[in-house]
Amino acid sequence: MLSRRAAAVGALLVAVAVVAAFVVMRSRTGARESAFALDAAPASSASSRVAAHRFVPGREVTYAVTYASDGALRVGEAAQASHLVSSVRAKLVRTVLGTSPREGIELLLYRFVGAEIAIAIDESSRATDAARIEADLARGLVVEMTRSGTIASVRMDPAASSLSRAFARALAAWTQVALVSTDATSWIAREIDTNGPLAAAYGVVPRPSSFGDVLSLRKTKRPLGTREGERAALGEMFLRAETGSTAVVEIDVDVAQGEVVEIAGDETTDATLGGQSLAHTRTTFDAERTSARVLDAAALAALAVEIAPLLESAPMALDAHDATLGDSAKAEASRHWLGGATLAEITRGLDDEARAPREGRSFDLFLKVQAYAFLHPAECEAIARLLHARPPRGSASATIVAALAATGSKEAQAALVGVVTAHGATADQMLRIVPSLGMLASPLQETEDAVRTLRDTSKRADVAATAALALGIMARSIAATSPARATRIVDEALARLARDERDARDEAAVKHDLSVLGNTGSTRIVDDVVRLSRSGTPSVRAQAGFSLRFVADEAAEARLLELLARDDDVLVRARAAAALAYRDWTEASARTQRTRVVDEPDAAVRAELLRTLYAMRSSDPSVVAFVKERGERDADATVRSVAAAMIAAGE
C-alpha cells in the first residue's frame, strides 16, 4: 500500500455537515470510549504483531497529504443540486507536545504547511474562502488524542472561520487509528468523525515479509445509532435527518516507532431526510510519512510558547452535528432552501399540497418552513399560529410541526409550547406536537417543564402518557449536557414504576412505566428493569426486555441475550431480538443471535435476527455469508425472501 493515491472531501463535506446538523433529530447509542480486543474470527491467518502508539515528546513527523471531495447538495422542489468540489494538498507536520493534564490524553500539534486549497461551487471558484482556510490551517490545531489513537477534541485559533473549522475537523478525523496492545487480529473501536459517533472495525491484512516491521490494517466504519429497524420510541415516524457513510481505510503502521506510515481511504456519505436525498459526497484521503525527527527540549519549549493561544482555546468536537457548527454555515444552507420565498407564499404552498399532493413537494415545503424559521426567528410564533386553522392530523400541520421541531431554536420551541399550553388546545394538537418536543436535540428547561405539566395535569390519559414518553426521550438527549435534569426525569419515572407496582396497578400501567424508562437509556434503570424481565407475565417480560435496548451496560445485554436464548414465550423472544437491533455489535451478541437463527421455531423472530445480523456486517463481514446461507436454507418463504432481498440490495 506504500504508494496509494487519494484525494477528496471539503466543501460538500461541510454542506453535508450543515444539512445534518441543522435538521438532525436522532438518538445516539452509548459505546465504550476506547478500542478493545475481540475474540472474533481472525481477519486473516497471518500472525499479528503487537502494535501500540508511542507518543514521544518532541517527535515530529511530516506527512504528504492529499484530500478532496466531489458531490452534490440538493436544493428546491425541482431537485436542483449545487455541485461542490474541493481539494487540499499540504504537508502535515505532526508534533507530540506531551501528556495532557487530562488522564489518558496526549497533546499533538498539527500544522499544515504550504497548503494548496481549491473550492468551487457550481464551477464558481471560492478563492477567498480557500485563502482564509489556508491561513487558518497554517496556524495549526492542537489535537487531544487518547493513547489508543482516537481523537477527543481539537483546538483552533478562536478567529478561525467556520469553514476552516470544518476542514480541520475532517482532516483530523481521517488521522485516527485505534491500536490495541495485544496480539488480536481484529478489534472494534468507538471513534468520532464529522458524521458523528461510529464503530470502526479493524482487521490485520497479510503482507509480504519484505514489508519489514510494518503492520497493515484495514478499517471499515459504521455510524452508531443508524441500524435498520431503529425507530422513534413513541411509535410515530418523524421527519429526521440521517447521515450514513460507507468507508474503507487502509493503514500501515511502523511497529517499532509506534506511528502511522500511511493512511489511505475512500468514503461515500449520504444525508437524507424523510426518505429524500439532501446530499451525496465521495471522499478520498491519503497521508504518507515523508520524514521524521525529534525536537530538542529547547525547541519544544519554544514551540509550546508559540502555540499557547491554541492551548488556551475552547475544545471543539470532531462531530459536525455538534453545537459548535457555525450559524453562518446554517444560514447559508437556509438561504439555499428558502430561495427568497415569503411566509405567505409558503402558506399557499402548504395548502396547495394538502389539496393536491405532489411527490417531493411536502419535503421541499418542510425545508422552506425550517429555513424561514431559522432565518426569521421572531416569526416562529406566526408559523405556529398556522396550526390553528389546519387539521392537526393533516399534512400541513405535520410539516409545520416537524420543521419547527427540527429548527430547535428557543423561539421555535417556545412557539410549539405555546400551542399545546394555550387555552383551548385540542388533544389532537397535543398528540401531534408533544412527541416532536420529545425528539428535540436540545430541549430547553422551559420545554421540559411544559411537557412535565402535561404529564401531571392533563385530563386526557393519552396526552399524559405521550408526555411521559416524550420526557423519557428528553432524558436521553440531555444526559451528557444536563445530567441533573436527566437524573430528575429518570427518578420520576422510577418513582412512578414503584408506585404502580406497590398499588398493584394494571399491567398496562407497568408496561407504560417500562416504556418511559426504556426511552431514557439510563444505566440507573437496569436493576428494576431486569427484575421485571423475570415477571411471570409474558407481556411485562417482553416490554422490560425491549426497555434495555439503549442501556450501555453489560448486565443489560446479558439479560437480553438470555431472554432471546431461553425464554419460552415467542413475544418475549421477538422483543429481545428487536432490542438487539439498537445495540452495537459484540462477539457475544453475534454468537447468540447466530445460534438462535438456527434454533428459533418462529419465522418472524428468525427474520428479525437476520436483519439485525446483516446490519452488523461492517463490524463482522462474515455475517453476509451466514445470512445468505441461512436464508437459502430456511423453511419459511418470508424468511427466505427477507434474506435474499438484503443480499441483493447490499444494504
Q: How far is the C-alpha of 619 from the C-alpha of 587, rounded, in Å? A: 10
pLDDT at 50: 63
310 grid coordinates: 491554541
pLDDT at 239: 40
Q: How far is the C-alpha of 120 from the C-alpha of 598, rounded, in Å? A: 54
**Do residues 270 and 243 touch, judged by C-beta distance below 8 A?**
yes
> DSSP readout, 304-345?
HHHTHHHHHSPPB-S-TTSTTS-HHHHHHHHHHHHTT--HHH
Q: Which residue's entry shows cell 497548503?
A: 115
Q: Which residue's entry shows cell 437524573?
A: 487
Q: How far is the C-alpha of 283 from the C-alpha of 266, rounded, in Å? A: 6
pLDDT at 20: 42
Letter for the amino acid at 362?
A: S
CA-based torsion, 359, 363, 367, 369: positive or negative: positive
pLDDT at 580: 92
pLDDT at 276: 62
Residue 386's contacts (CB-CB under 8 Å, 6 or more residues apart) are 347, 350, 396, 400
Q: Where are the beta strands (DSSP E) in 76-155?
A: 80-99, 105-121, 124-125, 141-146, 151-155
> DSSP readout, 340-408?
T--HHHHHHHHHHHHHS--TTHHHHHHHHHHHHHHH-GGGHHHHHHGGGGS-TTSHHHHHHHHHHHHH-
Beta bridge partners of 284: 68, 266
Pick from 110, 87, 82: nearest CA to 18: 82
559 grid coordinates: 439479560
Beta bridge partners of 106: 99, 145
364 grid coordinates: 421541499
pLDDT at 162: 78
> DSSP readout, 575-626?
HHHHHHTTSPP-HHHHHHHHHHHHH---HHHHHHHHHHHHHTTTT-TTHHHH
**How far out from the chain centre does Cα 100 lie?**
27
Ranges in the chain, pLDDT < 70: 1-50, 73-81, 181-182, 208-212, 223-244, 272-277, 320-329, 359-360, 618, 650-651
**How far out from the chain centre does Cα 217 lie?**
24
Task: Supply the pTM of this predicted model.
Answer: 0.70
Helix (H, G, I), strand (E, B) or coil at 517: helix
Compute the residue count for the chain.
Answer: 651
Helix (H, G, I), strand (E, B) or coil at 81: strand
